[in-house]
Chain A
Amino acid sequence: MNSRASLCFKRLASSTSLKRPPFHEVFPQKRLVNRLLFELDSKLTFPKLYPVYESIYNNLGRSDQENVIPNSFAASDVMIMKKVLEKLRHRTKSTNKNFIALENELMEKAAEMGDNDAIGLLAYNVLKNPQKNSPEDVAHAKTLIKQLYQMNHPLTLKLTGDFAWASNDFKSAENYYKRFLEFENDTFRAGEVYGQLGVLYFKKPNLKEAERCFLASISLAPRENVVKSYYHLAQLYMESNPLKARSLMESAAGEGFKESFQLLGFLEMNYFKNYGKSQQWFRLGMELYEIDCYIGYFDSCVKMQKWHLAKKCMETMRLLAQKNVSHYPAYEAFLKSREDKIKALVLHSPNPRVEVNKYAAQTTSSPATKENSWGL
């Protein structure tokens, strides 16, 4: 009976491991990983890291896993391995649940090895969801954070700021972020913190200070990490320097920041008078069902006299407003404000053969006859 039960367990375990695709199939190419390692200023190389990644990946979910991390690895090296996966996630804008598990495993291992960053992150993960953790865990997490905070550990200061931000305590968040910057002001993470501070000042509003922070943010951190800084900075420059604003907004759009599509579309259409380009931006926004982008697309079609596209766009908008009630006020406002354009649209049928009567009624006052058609 016992042997049968253990056999069942083994089978179950093996079947779960089978669900995970083989590591070599999912892990990115050597070149990309090496680039990420270079960005992270790591002393380790791909050949050294790959077997470690693979063994941890293969042992995921097993309680009896042996120590797969070589003795030569320091806690910070394990954190770098975690950061590589994190960067990969940001860059590819996709998440793989197995890699998330791998990230968590690496973080736990780094914490066990005494990495303060990992300890801080784990402790804050516990505090974020106290109901999912036991009271002892929560109390222990608080103690750890207190200790780290007293040590002026930069990441803990940032995480405390994030925590205050999440609970709408912006004043405290600002203080924690400023303290973080006293200890660390030239790293990727500082770039992110500058971005957060910028948003704070933007909302206050203290726009001069916000501009300074956003500029610092985009100069320190890679674009994918601080896309909001690009977007907000573009907003700041929109009145004084639309050319610069466009370039910043394009950077944000390049990272798939959906709010930027409609702004770029309107900017191209109404300011730079580049209707073709504006249509492209609107089309991207329309794929995400942004109602403003539909309106912009309609306008640009009318300006370019692409009547059939404008008609199609209006029809899609009507269907969208029917299906989604929240879009209805915008649709109604659109109908009211574009009354003259919609009337003009009726004159331009996409298929004149079908609507020949309509054309005849609108283009001539009297029907064409043999006598008067050539005016001879």
Chain B
Amino acid sequence: MHCPIRARAYSSARSPAVSALISLRDARLFQESLITNSTLAALKNAYQTGRFRIVEDEDKASADLNSNRSLPMLQFPKNKIFEEVTNDAKIGEWRKPVTKWARLAKAVLKMYMTGLKNNWYVLKSAKKLSTTFGTAPEKLAAELYKDMTFQEIENRIKELRPTPLRVNRGEFQELYRQKEFRKIPMFFALYVVFEEFLPVICYLLPSIVPWNCLTPGAFKKLSDLHAGSKDLLPYKLQDKSVPTYASPYSVPLANVIGLLRSHKLISRWKATVYRASGNRTQLCELLTQLNQYFTLDDWFLVSKIVNADGIVAITDRELVNAVLERQLYLKGEDLNALASTETGKRLLVWRLFIYWSFRLHGTTCVGGPNTFSEAWGVNNVSIMNFPGSTHLLDLNTLKNVVDQC
């Protein structure tokens, strides 16, 4: 018989096992990181051998990892449509300018219609899941996190590899993204008022648009806004190269509110009420949930990439979304444009790899001896969205990484 639960990292007698930063300064140092960090090596190996790949077409992606219908488009179809019309011999030259714009308008309207329909389907499937398991979608995420921690403890003792949870990553993401449905009534109201000017309104106020109806321009605006909240992250408050343990309750209230607002977890009026009342508990619990969401999503992806026998493929939309949520980009960077080129795609993938390798090295998810909480401490928010290296990987340092591949 074993004692399944070890002394926690919150016990001040023991400090959590902290993994080392990934060095990007030059190729040699990166090579050393590859040797010392087996997770990084495993991820690199999967990417190099093609066991992990990024695809455009959802049909070619792993069915249980992606939910493209709940994500926005990467490229605005304007150039494609204009080119099609230009090359279409059946359309008379005099008609082409009008046809181009008409077809573009039609495509945009179709995109909104499809987006709204998909929102409905996502909501329906999330409802179905929560009915099957008898809990509300928000609570189901907490239940899944609990299942994951139970599995980690059991796997550590029985020395087993991770096994699937009761829902897959695609379903988990849809559970998280179903809240976008709440925007639809407002969206319809705006449509009734502004009619064909709705795209202009959406461009000016992108936050009112359901997530999967965003155009790349609006997405860029939101991503720039989201990058601004990086300074509020707990690791930025610490004056250390490797962040030390910080519980959600140790983060200043203003930062907690800022982070929650940035991740759209509380509305403006709620934030005002909480700030005025000084009620920390509710807000800190929301921050905990956000942190658990990231951990769970990382677990879904990395355990699949490292442990799966076949090919693991995620779509470029999922890649962009993963990078955006984890704030692994610089302000002003166009993630959609990056994901549309091979080099950009590689850059985003490697940013994720470095982030994962730092976080998950030595945990049961990648065959290590510790559970995630044992490695970092219970709900350690200091590593939330921490890039895993002193500086974020960019196109200049990418060559140090690519040289090793």
Binding site for B on A (CB under 8 A): 170, 202-208, 211, 235-243, 266-267, 269-273, 292, 295-296, 299, 333-334, 337
B13:A239 contact, CB within 8 angstroms = no
Name the one of A205, A238, A272, A292 contacting B247, with C-beta atoms under 8 angstroms: A272
Residues of A within 8 A of B149 (CB): 239-240
Residues of B within 8 A of A270 (CB): 10-12, 245, 247
Confirm or deny: B343 has a beta carbon within 8 angstroms of a beta carbon on chain A.
Answer: no
Bound-state Cα–Cα, A199 to B371, Å: 21
In the complex formed, the residue of A with least CB distance to B250 is A273
Secondary structure type dominating chain A contacts = helix
B294 CB → nearest A CB, Å? 14
A269:B12 contact, CB within 8 angstroms = yes
Interface stretch (choices B140-148, B193-201, B323-331, B332-340): B140-148
A248 CB → nearest B CB, Å? 14
B167 CB → nearest A CB, Å? 15
B142:A205 contact, CB within 8 angstroms = no
In the complex formed, the residue of A with least CB distance to B143 is A240
Q: A202-B4, A203-B3, A267-B10 are in contact. List 13 more A-B contacts (CB 8 A).
A: A203-B1, A205-B2, A205-B157, A240-B292, A242-B378, A242-B379, A266-B8, A266-B10, A269-B12, A270-B11, A270-B245, A271-B10, A295-B13
The answer to whether residues A235 and B11 also contact, given A240-B142, A243-B285, A273-B250 and a CB cut-off of 8 A, is: no
Q: Could you list 6 A-B pairs, sorted by A, with CB under 8 Å?
A: A206-B154, A240-B149, A266-B8, A270-B10, A273-B249, A299-B12
Residues of B within 8 A of A334 (CB): 13
B145:A240 contact, CB within 8 angstroms = yes
Confirm or deny: B393 has a beta carbon within 8 angstroms of a beta carbon on chain A.
Answer: no
In the complex formed, the residue of B with least CB distance to A303 is B12
Bound-state Cα–Cα, A204 to B2, Å: 7
Residues of A within 8 A of B12 (CB): 266, 269-270, 295-296, 299
Residues of B within 8 A of A170 (CB): 1
B363 CB → nearest A CB, Å? 13
B13:A243 contact, CB within 8 angstroms = no
Confirm or deny: B118 has a beta carbon within 8 angstroms of a beta carbon on chain A.
Answer: no
A239:B371 contact, CB within 8 angstroms = yes
In the complex formed, the residue of A with least CB distance to B9 is A270
Chain B window 1-42, contacts with chain A (Cβ cutoff 8 Å), 1 for yes, 0 for no: 111110010111100000000000000000000000000000
Instruction: Give residues of chain B (252-292) contacting chain A, Cβ–Cβ below 8 Å.
Output: 281, 285, 292
A238:B146 contact, CB within 8 angstroms = no
Bound-state Cα–Cα, A267 to B8, Å: 9
Bound-state Cα–Cα, A202 to B1, Å: 10
A202 CB → nearest B CB, Å? 6
Confirm or deny: B150 has a beta carbon within 8 angstroms of a beta carbon on chain A.
Answer: yes
Residues of B within 8 A of A292 (CB): 11, 13
A190 CB → nearest B CB, Å? 23
Residues of B within 8 A of A207 (CB): 4, 150, 153-154
Residues of B within 8 A of A236 (CB): 5, 150
A208:B13 contact, CB within 8 angstroms = no
B251 CB → nearest A CB, Å? 10
Bound-state Cα–Cα, A57 to B232, Å: 71
B150:A208 contact, CB within 8 angstroms = yes
Name the one of B8, B13, B247, B373 contacting A273, with C-beta atoms under 8 angstroms: B247
B217 CB → nearest A CB, Å? 40
Name the one of B2, B145, B281, B378 contacting A238, with C-beta atoms under 8 angstroms: B378
A205:B13 contact, CB within 8 angstroms = no
The answer to whether residues A238 and B13 also contact, given A243-B285, A272-B247, A273-B249 and a CB cut-off of 8 A, is: no
In the complex formed, the residue of A with least CB distance to B158 is A205
B5:A241 contact, CB within 8 angstroms = no
Bound-state Cα–Cα, A238 to B4, Å: 13
A216 CB → nearest B CB, Å? 16
A266:B5 contact, CB within 8 angstroms = no
Bound-state Cα–Cα, A242 to B281, Å: 12
In the complex formed, the residue of B with least CB distance to A170 is B1
Name the one of B4, B146, B154, B157 contacting A241, with C-beta atoms under 8 angstroms: B146
In the complex formed, the residue of B with least CB distance to A205 is B4
Bound-state Cα–Cα, A12 to B107, Å: 107
The answer to whether residues A239 and B378 also contact, given A205-B2, A207-B4, A273-B250 and a CB cut-off of 8 A, is: yes
In the complex formed, the residue of A with least CB distance to B10 is A270
Bound-state Cα–Cα, A296 to B245, Å: 17
Bound-state Cα–Cα, A208 to B373, Å: 18
Residues of A within 8 A of B3 (CB): 203
B5:A235 contact, CB within 8 angstroms = yes
B2:A203 contact, CB within 8 angstroms = yes
B13:A271 contact, CB within 8 angstroms = no
Q: Which 5 pairs, one residue from A and one from B, show the smallest C-beta to C-beta distance?
A: A205-B4, A207-B150, A240-B146, A270-B10, A239-B373
Chain B window 286-316, contacts with chain A (Cβ cutoff 8 Å), 1 for yes, 0 for no: 0000001000000000000000000000000
Residues of A within 8 A of B249 (CB): 271-273
Bound-state Cα–Cα, A235 to B4, Å: 10
Bound-state Cα–Cα, A211 to B150, Å: 10
Residues of A within 8 A of B371 (CB): 239
The answer to whether residues A237 and B146 also contact, given A270-B247, A337-B13 and a CB cut-off of 8 A, is: yes
In the complex formed, the residue of B with least CB distance to A242 is B378
In the complex formed, the residue of A with least CB distance to B248 is A271
Bound-state Cα–Cα, A296 to B12, Å: 7
Bound-state Cα–Cα, A243 to B282, Å: 11
In the complex formed, the residue of A with least CB distance to B147 is A208
B1 CB → nearest A CB, Å? 5
Bound-state Cα–Cα, A204 to B4, Å: 8
Bound-state Cα–Cα, A264 to B126, Å: 37
Residues of A within 8 A of B379 (CB): 242, 271
Residues of B within 8 A of A241 (CB): 142, 146
Residues of B within 8 A of A295 (CB): 12-13
The answer to whether residues A243 and B10 also contact, given A203-B4, A208-B150, A272-B247 and a CB cut-off of 8 A, is: no
A186 CB → nearest B CB, Å? 21
Residues of A within 8 A of B146 (CB): 237, 240-241
In the complex formed, the residue of B with least CB distance to A207 is B150
B336 CB → nearest A CB, Å? 35
B135 CB → nearest A CB, Å? 14
Bound-state Cα–Cα, A95 to B11, Å: 35
Residues of A within 8 A of B292 (CB): 240
Chain B window 369-405, contacts with chain A (Cβ cutoff 8 Å), 1 for yes, 0 for no: 0010100001100000000000000000000000000
Bound-state Cα–Cα, A113 to B182, Å: 68
Q: Which residue among A207, A237, A238 has the maximum number of chain B CB atoms within 10 Å of its CB?
A: A207
In the complex formed, the residue of B with least CB distance to A337 is B13
Q: Which residue among B2, B147, B249, B371 has the maximum number of chain A CB atoms within 10 Å of its CB?
A: B249
Residues of B within 8 A of A266 (CB): 8, 10-12
Residues of A within 8 A of B4 (CB): 202-203, 205, 207
B247 CB → nearest A CB, Å? 5
